[in-house]
Amino acid sequence: MKVVGLMSGTSADGVDAALVNIVRRGGISRITPLAFASLPYSRTLQQRLVELSLHGQVAEICHMNAYLGELFANAALRVIRKANYRATDIQLIGSHGQTIHHLPKGIREPGVGVVRSTLQIGEPAVIAERTGITTVANFRPRDMAAGGEGAPLVPYAHAMAFRHPRRCRLVVNIGGISNVTYLPAGGGVQDLRAFDTGPGNMVLDAIMRVVTQGKRSYDVGGRMARQGTVNEALLRELMAHPFLIRRPPKSTGREEFGAPFVQALVARQRTLRLSVEVLLATCAAWTAEAIGSCRRWISGEIDDVIVGGGGVYNRAIMDALRGVFAPAPVLTFDDCGWSSKAFEATAFALLAHDMLYGQCTNVPGVTGARHPVVLGSVVPGGAGVPVIQARRSR
């Protein structure tokens, strides 16, 4: 089955689209990458989404849901064309959407107890209508309905791609938020451990936008961070953040490490009279140290550290990670035959594919859900042929 995966992360900088071929044999899905494309958001749209996640009005959320559906559909068609296929050659799309709010702790309401919630926009009905391809979306809410945090979900794909019969591996994804997946040697999906560790690129990118007054959205290659030295006092303050010492299962996002947090951090920088380079160096080190602190929740050796996501291109973060995990080698997804840029989109192609086979793809030990569940809801493509009929025809 040829499947497109669509992903836009907490950095809100664009849509990644991965086209893969998936073959299922003996209950195991084997993935072959075919093509990858990105559809970047304009700086204005990125800022609109950041504002929407913190102060969004109902009318704007309603509009942006449909607008992003159009952009996600365009990204899907772009990667299909890049691979020299037609939309009619593709059986399925899995779309994560754009998270604009995530409340994993929940809010207690009378008569029902704690209500956990999450909201990803990018209307799947628009994607299915524009492409004619059956689309699976809304992956996180079912896990939350079952008592989980709805995140992280990509560890299911990490296990498929990186588990090893003899080596214990820590898979690290550094997007806007960083998360880790621990794969014990010879273990299966049910044996892995995974959780968010804290900020990845989100805080660093926001600092650049603040200090350049919006002229630059990120520190290219970590160049400015590498010109600074780590301020140990500030690093200790950051490492004392309550999220870092919270026991898993845990997940986080812009609600915890977004604009208000960065504004307070920049104010702290000015109080301490630190240069921007020192602030960036300290936050890059913090990202790595926060990832390294995962070891307090993991019982087992770490033979390999495998890193993906946009953070692999920040040399300050990667240098710090090598120091944190030495002597274990720190590799990239690309070193292991997978694209760092494409993997998260690939993961949602896999989740969509396995959903059609009735496979439970959450990991209750990771998300905190009471039991395994099938993730995602389906919008049929074309003229609305039922998905189950399409499955039989294949």
* Alpha-carbon dihedral angle through residues 180, 350, 120, 341, given to the nearest 10 degrees: 60
CB 308, CB 340: distance < 8 Å: yes
Residue 218 tokens read as: 């990120």
pLDDT at 385: 46
Q: Domain check: are 97 and 107 in the same one?
A: yes
pLDDT at 148: 95
CA distance 231 to 280: 10
* Boundary of a domain, candidates 287, 305, 336: 336
Q: Domain check: are 72 and 119 in the same one?
A: yes
pLDDT at 382: 77
Q: What is the DSSP letter of 148?
A: S
Q: Per the annotation, does 10 bind a ligand?
A: yes
Q: Per the annotation, does 15 bind a ligand?
A: yes
Q: Per the annotation, does 14 bind a ligand?
A: yes
Which residues have CB under 8 Å from 233's CB, separation 6+?
272
Q: Domain check: are 251 and 365 in the same one?
A: no
Q: Per the annotation, does 205 bind a ligand?
A: no
CA distance 212 to 58: 31
Q: What is the CATH number of the domain that holds 331?
A: 3.30.420.40
* Boundary of a domain, candidates 295, 318, 336: 336
Averages of pLDDT over runs of 10 residues in the chain (394 residues) are: 95 94 91 97 92 92 98 98 97 97 93 95 98 98 96 94 96 95 93 95 94 89 97 97 95 90 95 97 98 95 96 97 98 96 96 96 95 97 54 40
Exposed, middle or buried: residue 55 (CB in 10 Å: 0-12, 13-18, 19+)? Answer: exposed
> Tell me, what amino acid is at 375?
L
pLDDT at 393: 36
Q: Domain check: are 144 and 254 in the same one?
A: no
Q: Domain check: are 148 and 171 in the same one?
A: no
Residue 316: which of 346, 351, 276, 344 has the closest Cα? 276
Q: Domain check: are 248 and 371 in the same one?
A: no
* Boundary of a domain, candidates 317, 336, 355: 336
pLDDT at 30: 93
Q: Domain check: are 184 and 317 in the same one?
A: yes
Q: Domain check: are 279 and 348 in the same one?
A: no
Q: Per the annotation, does 373 bind a ligand?
A: no
pLDDT at 394: 40
CA distance 394 to 382: 16
Q: Domain check: are 79 and 207 in the same one?
A: no
Q: Domain check: are 111 and 205 in the same one?
A: no
pLDDT at 383: 55
pLDDT at 54: 85
Per the structure, the count of domains in the chain is: 2
Q: Domain check: are 224 and 314 in the same one?
A: yes
Q: Domain check: are 290 and 257 in the same one?
A: yes
pLDDT at 205: 94
Show the domain range for 296: 156-336
pLDDT at 203: 96
Reduced to 3 states, what is the DSSP secondary structure of residue 250?
coil
CA distance 37 to 31: 17
Q: Per the annotation, does 189 bind a ligand?
A: no
